[in-house]
A = this chain, B = another copy of it.
């Protein structure tokens, strides 16, 4: 990541390489908004020290928002949130058990004191959009960009409505 403080920066952390197809949609949207992204594989259980170290230094490293994707007993977003004061967005990755109910509950049901901003199961796009909305408090252009994004979404709905008529 660059040292340029005027560019919004998001670190995307995933529990294993198998989460990459989910996370790719997040990266694409963030890049579309001109957000610098850093992608990292890091496990709450296999590399816990690396995870802790990363999260402790995230703010001073200029990161604005952390997005963490994990499945099953998905501790990664919560463990990162334990070590930082930055907002952490959690993507529950669909597991083979009840379509990710385990991932969802392991991420959203965080005890009082250490929240994770949870999006839908496999909600990769929404993690990116939420990160942009959060960063729009600091980076003025992003609010404007997000308004345009919403307009495009609206127009796409209108177009697909016209198509079926």
- Copies of this chain in the oligomer: 8
List chain B residues, Cβ under 8 A from A22.
none
A161:B40 contact, CB within 8 angstroms: yes
B130:A160 contact, CB within 8 angstroms: no
**A82 to B161, alpha carbons, bound, how many Å?**
19
Question: Can you list 29 pairs linking A and B with CB atoms under 8 Å apart?
Answer: A15-B111, A45-B113, A46-B82, A46-B153, A46-B156, A47-B154, A47-B157, A47-B158, A48-B79, A59-B143, A71-B111, A72-B111, A73-B78, A73-B111, A73-B120, A75-B79, A79-B79, A85-B133, A85-B147, A85-B150, A88-B133, A96-B122, A97-B109, A97-B120, A105-B105, A111-B120, A114-B129, A115-B133, A134-B134
Residues of A within 8 A of B (CB): 15-17, 20, 39-50, 52, 59, 64-65, 71-73, 75, 78-79, 81-83, 85-89, 94-102, 104-123, 125-127, 129-130, 133-138, 143, 146-147, 150, 153-154, 156-158, 160-161, 163-165
